A and B are shown apart, each in its own frame.
Chain A
Amino acid sequence: MGDLLLIHRLHFGFTLVFHYLFPQLTMGLALLIALLESLSYWKKDEALHEAARFWARVFGINFVIGVVTGIPMEFQFGTNWAPFSRYAGGVIGQTLALEGVFAFFAESTFLGLFLYGEGRIGRKGTWAAAVLVFVGSWLSGYFITATNAFMQHPVGYAVDASGKLAMVSLWQVLTNPWLVWEYAHVMTGATQTGAFAMAGVGALYLLQGRFEAQARTFVRTGVLVGALASVLQIFPSGDAQGRLVAQHQPATLAALEGLFRSAPGAPLAFVGQPDMQRRRLDNPIELGHALSFLTWRRWTARVEGLDAFPVEDWPTNVPLVYYAYHVMVGLGTFFIAIQLGAAFLLWRRKLFASRPMLWVLLLAIPFPYVANTAGWVAAEAGRQPWLVHGLYRTPQGASYHVSSGNALFSLLGFTGAYALLAILFLFLVGRELARGPVEGAPAHEG
């Protein structure tokens, strides 16, 4: 039983982490493309339109892989987590269905128009399609985050006579206070991925001395949007989310922060390794009282450590939760430094000539992916041992009647298929980048 539960968890975790590499870029780029298309339409600037078209090609490749790896996610609730689907389908079935019928339809339809339809719908139509792809993809993110927010902090539900969840108020589920901040945090994270990709590719072209006019547009747009997103990422969205965790999932907060002992005036650990045997943080570098202040806005407030909770309520993998969280926060801090530094150079008109800063922007491309992935691992591993926090434990939800051989076979199958997809993706995007924003290239070949 234990093995099977682990396989189901790895199955979902692996496919989710891989899947989310793609939507984070498409959601970020959707915003940036809509922005470029809007500016282009408004200023009657063809160069901006060409820039948007170049990114639309990258978007297209990303979108396909996002879709084909996303459909399995919807199915996995039923295949690998059948008892959970039976239990919670009355609520999360609804938010997932809303995503499919409202958001995904809009995104897919208008992307088809945007990529293939330029000759038929004119410039105004292309602009409208770009904006609607943006609306669809962000709406999609909203409904998916609503599903997750319900699992983190259930609201608007009732437990019916048979012990299953029933939706009482869709409005409450869609305005869940947890959702508001989680959505802001997730979307600013996706925007960073898009902005870093755009700025980094622009930096690459400037360093190579190719496509300089387009490259400046990429760097300028990426840095401005990225700087704004990096700041919003930490404050208010990250800060507010941290305080929600402290309020509603105190055991998770203790694991995130590596706080083993409850204390007034709790310190904030920047570095340190959770030692599960001795129940302490090894080699800590801490800032005294800072955690108390960040959490409760008082320097001497008491913060509950892991010792305040029975071990069976601790997240099942405390070190994973701790490291994922620290990687996310550490990178988030770097992003602010990089983007504000670049924005400063941009303002002083020195950015395009500053090779060191362009190198930094280029090399930074992968790190928002790392930060976003770490953030989701912290959130999802941090929610353990619960599937629906406080209501339903993870071991209750797995499909035990599916034999572990079947589950392992499909896990290995996905691993192989996704490895091939990753190679294909890197190859195709690499080709697109090598070709660059060539004038007059079609938005889509078919």
Chain B
Amino acid sequence: MGTLFFCFLAFLLAAYVVLDGYDLGTGMLHLGLARDDAERRQLLRTIGPLWDGNEVYLVASGGTLFFAFPELYAVSFSGFYLPLMIVLWLLIVRGVSIEVRSHLLSPLWRQAFDVGFSASSGLLAFFLGVAIGNVVRGVPVGADRWFLQPLWTDFRLGKETGILDWYTVLVGTTATFVLAEQGALWIAWRTAGAVRERALALATPVWAVSAVLTVVMSGVTFLVQPHIPAGLVREPWRLLFPAAGVAALLAAPLAIRRGQEGAAFAAWSAFLALLLASVAAGLYPVLLPSSLDPRLSLTVEEVRAADGALRLGLVWWPLAIGIALAYTAYVHRRFSERVAP
């Protein structure tokens, strides 16, 4: 049952990254791709009615983590204290920037919030990547089950790691590019006119950088956390995730070349989801590796809630998420035509 909820959690996180990924990406690129106020509003209109619903997947992931794995929730949220606070402040800046910028006509006001929107979107993408990097690399969970990491120490791997070291910075950078690509493909798919042309022109180089970074990051990950390749190979069917991920990665530029932006976006979304699925499949049954001693790593069975709570969750959770997915699909269909400049 712990395994089932592990899959649920991985699914929700993947849904969050795919959905908020495109609006984070749109945010990052928004300053560069949109040259004047009309174009900025055009970009904002593609995500305006949707971004808030996307962010609820983050809240839902937090909630699911809390009730299904209360121990992990407690250990990791307190251990990642400062980075989480920074993420919360970034979420505040971003949400406010999106909603508030068009309330005033003053160009100065709009510029300020445009910069706030871009910067917070980029930093959020980076920190989401850093978070995944930390979970992969492991954190100094001690025998008492608590840990507290500083933001950074000396940027080297080892026992005294910080949230930021060269590995997590690499993962964060990769995440930033990968989500920028998700945004570029979204914009290419959902807009018309000059903005769409620029997004299409950007999609290929960003794809290339993302692909190179993904390959480098995967190689480095196998060295930093040998647990992951071992986990993937132990049950070879798990290799399907990275294999399908590579296929999706290669499918995206083909779709762009054939002028099918919707398909390119879908392929890149699948790539994001499969990348996360590969990490989850490699880590399982560990949820949070300990960098001090592998025996102190937190595993699914150790940190999951009692049987009763999970059985109960099995009743309402799939129902609730089913309804939520239906809402998400409905609003995306409602707002599905290309936004003209």
Query: CB within 8 A of A406: which of B62, B63, B82?
Result: B82
B305 interface residue per 8 A CB criterion: yes
Chain A residues with Cβ below 8 Å from B91 are 68, 71
Interface residues of A in 67-84 (CB under 8 A from B): 67-69, 71-72, 74-75, 77-80, 82-83
A98 to B84, CA, bound (A): 22
Chain B residues with Cβ below 8 Å from A167 are 306, 308-309, 312
A14 to chain B, nearest CB (A): 14
Residue interface bits B20-61, CB-to-A below 8 A is 1, else 0: 000000000000000000000100110011101101101110
Known: A74-B59, A108-B53, A424-B100. A116 touches B48 (CB 8 A): yes
Known: A69-B92, A421-B96. A446 touches B45 (CB 8 A): yes
B77 interface residue per 8 A CB criterion: yes
B247 interface residue per 8 A CB criterion: no
A281 to chain B, nearest CB (A): 41
Interface residues of A in 373-401 (CB under 8 A from B): 399, 401
For chain B, the bracket of interface size reads 35 or more
Residue interface bits B95-115, CB-to-A below 8 A is 1, else 0: 110011011100000000000
B46 to chain A, nearest CB (A): 10
Closest Cβ neighbor of B12 among chain A residues: A101
Chain B residues with Cβ below 8 Å from A79 are 77-78, 81, 84-85
Known: A105-B53, A120-B334. A68 touches B306 (CB 8 A): no
Query: CB within 8 A of A82: which of B50, B74, B321, B324?
Result: B74
B338 to chain A, nearest CB (A): 14
B71 interface residue per 8 A CB criterion: yes
Asked whether B96 lies within 8 Å of A64 as measured between CB atoms, the reply is yes
Closest Cβ neighbor of A88 among chain B residues: B70
Q: Which of the 9-residue segments A34-42, A89-97, A251-259 touches chain B? A: A89-97
A428 interface residue per 8 A CB criterion: yes
Closest Cβ neighbor of A77 among chain B residues: B66
Chain B residues with Cβ below 8 Å from A428 are 100, 103
Chain A residues with Cβ below 8 Å from B78 are 78-80, 82, 399, 401-402
A113 interface residue per 8 A CB criterion: yes
Closest Cβ neighbor of A125 among chain B residues: B334
Asked whether B320 lies within 8 Å of A90 as measured between CB atoms, the reply is no
A102 interface residue per 8 A CB criterion: yes
Chain A residues with Cβ below 8 Å from B316 are 98, 102
B155 interface residue per 8 A CB criterion: no
Asked whether B53 lies within 8 Å of A90 as measured between CB atoms, the reply is no
Residue interface bits B237-273, CB-to-A below 8 A is 1, else 0: 0000000000000000000000000000000000000
B152 interface residue per 8 A CB criterion: no
* Main secondary structure on B side of the interface with A: helix
Asked whether A113 lies within 8 Å of B334 as measured between CB atoms, the reply is yes
Query: CB within 8 A of B85: which of A83, A112, A113, A413?
Result: A413
Chain B residues with Cβ below 8 Å from A407 are 81
Asked whether B317 lies within 8 Å of A101 as measured between CB atoms, the reply is yes
B76 interface residue per 8 A CB criterion: yes
Chain B residues with Cβ below 8 Å from A399 are 78, 81
Known: A83-B74, A113-B331, A446-B44. A401 touches B146 (CB 8 A): yes
Asked whether B77 lies within 8 Å of A85 as measured between CB atoms, the reply is yes
A240 to B67, CA, bound (A): 31
Query: CB within 8 A of A108: which of B56, B64, B71, B76?
Result: B56
Chain A residues with Cβ below 8 Å from B55 are 67, 71, 108
Chain A residues with Cβ below 8 Å from B59 are 71, 74, 100, 104
Chain A residues with Cβ below 8 Å from B224 are none
Chain A residues with Cβ below 8 Å from B48 are 112, 116, 444, 446
Chain B residues with Cβ below 8 Å from A65 are 96
A435 to chain B, nearest CB (A): 10
Query: CB within 8 A of A166: which of B44, B58, B306, B317?
Result: B306
Residue interface bits B300-341, CB-to-A below 8 A is 1, else 0: 000001101100110011001101100110110011000000
A109 to B329, CA, bound (A): 10
B119 interface residue per 8 A CB criterion: no
A73 to chain B, nearest CB (A): 10
A168 interface residue per 8 A CB criterion: yes
Chain A residues with Cβ below 8 Å from B50 are 112
A133 to B56, CA, bound (A): 15
A94 to B102, CA, bound (A): 38
Chain A residues with Cβ below 8 Å from B104 are 431
B284 interface residue per 8 A CB criterion: no
Asked whether B67 lies within 8 Å of A97 as measured between CB atoms, the reply is yes
B53 to chain A, nearest CB (A): 5
A106 to chain B, nearest CB (A): 7
Chain B residues with Cβ below 8 Å from A88 are 70
B49 to chain A, nearest CB (A): 4
Residue interface bits A421-445, CB-to-B below 8 A is 1, else 0: 1001000100100000000000011
A287 interface residue per 8 A CB criterion: no
Asked whether A78 lies within 8 Å of B76 as measured between CB atoms, the reply is yes
Asked whether B96 lies within 8 Å of A401 as measured between CB atoms, the reply is no
A61 interface residue per 8 A CB criterion: yes
B243 to chain A, nearest CB (A): 32
Chain B residues with Cβ below 8 Å from A75 are 62, 77, 84, 88
Closest Cβ neighbor of B95 among chain A residues: A68
Query: CB within 8 A of A120: which of B64, B73, B335?
Result: B335
A120 to B48, CA, bound (A): 15
B48, B68, B78: residue with the most chain A Cβ atoms closer than 10 Å:
B78
A322 to B297, CA, bound (A): 48
Chain A residues with Cβ below 8 Å from B66 are 74, 77-78, 85, 89, 93, 96-97
A333 interface residue per 8 A CB criterion: no
B71, B103, B146, B330: residue with the most chain A Cβ atoms closer than 10 Å:
B103
A417 interface residue per 8 A CB criterion: yes
B75 interface residue per 8 A CB criterion: yes
Residue interface bits A127-168, CB-to-B below 8 A is 1, else 0: 000000000000000000000000000000000100010111
- List 17 extra interface pairs beyond A72-B92, A86-B70, CB under 8 A: A69-B92, A72-B88, A79-B81, A82-B146, A90-B309, A93-B66, A93-B73, A105-B324, A105-B327, A106-B327, A108-B52, A108-B56, A166-B306, A402-B148, A424-B96, A428-B100, A446-B45
21 pairs of residues in contact across A and B, judged by CB atoms under 8 Å: A64-B99, A71-B88, A78-B66, A85-B70, A90-B309, A93-B67, A93-B68, A93-B70, A97-B63, A104-B60, A105-B56, A108-B53, A110-B327, A116-B335, A121-B334, A166-B306, A170-B312, A407-B81, A410-B82, A421-B96, A446-B48
Please list the 10 inter-chain residue pairs (A to B) with the smallest Cβ-Cβ separation, ordered nearest first.
A89-B70, A78-B77, A97-B63, A93-B67, A82-B78, A93-B66, A112-B49, A101-B320, A100-B63, A86-B74
